Amino acid sequence: MGTRTKYSPGTFSWTDLTTPDQDSAKQFYSELFGWEADDQPVSEGVYYSLMKLGSETVAALSPQPQQQRDAGAPPLWNSYITVSSADEALDRARELGGQVHAEAFDVFDVGRMGVVQDPQGVFFLVWEPRSMIGASLVNAPGALSWNELHAPDLDAAESFYGELFGWKTERFPSDEMDYRIIKTADGHTNGGMSGMLPPGTPPHWLVYFGAEDIDRAVARIGELGGGTLMEPMDLAEGLRIAVVRDPQGAVFALYAGRFDD
């Protein structure tokens, strides 16, 4: 497992869920991953639930804004990328053809963030850390373990994110699909890019959580009222994945295999 005290710029460092039923989501993910909620007040009657494995913070759950509900937006696991300056990252995203949907703003004293939509319509968030770096545990069962872009034009995605974050990519050796491994500017593996999009699915970032036994986790998700979108499958020796949804419809993926430190 990988405990963290900092993240280099361009690294995925945090994920949170916006959901229409925060209490039900807390129960579901606590049953599935063994998370415990630490509810942090945001405003009167509104809480940002930090989810913990033991003493380590791994993710968060928050209420879906009413504007998103009214627009019919589904509940969503968000992908955050660490930057040295949220303001500069947003300015650069605009120059590269992205759209800024939330200008940089301070989150109390914990950090500064903004919301971006890339040129293919994919949303992500930038995070400038202050007192909170993001997840203190990654690459472990029940923790953030991978972030994967699904978009129709991987060359365009490679160019946009490479210019914005300094990412490089390596082609995964396969005759069946175009899959690219993301490397940060300092050489660390940081996620992947895939051109595979089921019919009717918009481009998106997919969040993966680690699992000790994917088949058991998928069965448990069904028992808890969730569903399976892609049955467990082997990608390589010792590496197994599945794509699932929670009872409110938020999609995420499971990963079992070797975890990097």
Query: What is the residue-wise DSSP string for 151-214?
Result: -S-HHHHHHHHHHHH--EEEE---SS--EEEEE-TTS-EEEEEE----TTPPPEEEEEEE-S-H
Asked if the structure places residue 187 within a domain, the reply is: no
The residue range of the domain holding 62 is: 1-153+198-261
Residue of 217, 207, 206 whose CA lies nearest to 240: 217
At 219 the three-state DSSP class reads: helix
Asked if the structure places residue 17 within a domain, the reply is: yes
pLDDT digits (tens, 9 = 90+) for 48-67: 999 999 999 999 999 998 88
Q: Residue 69: what pLDDT?
A: 83
The CATH number of the domain where 248 resides is what?
3.10.180.10
Asked if the structure places residue 189 within a domain, the reply is: no
Residue 241: strand pairing partners: 233, 255
Q: How many domains does the chain have?
A: 1
pTM of the model: 0.96
Between residues 177 and 40, the one the model is more confident about = 40
Average pLDDT over residues 164-193: 89
Is the confidence at residue 1, as pLDDT, over 70?
Answer: no
Average pLDDT over residues 85-108: 97
Asked if the structure places residue 169 within a domain, the reply is: no
Average pLDDT over residues 21-25: 97
Assigned token pair, 50: 């930090």
Between residues 229 and 196, the one the model is more confident about = 229
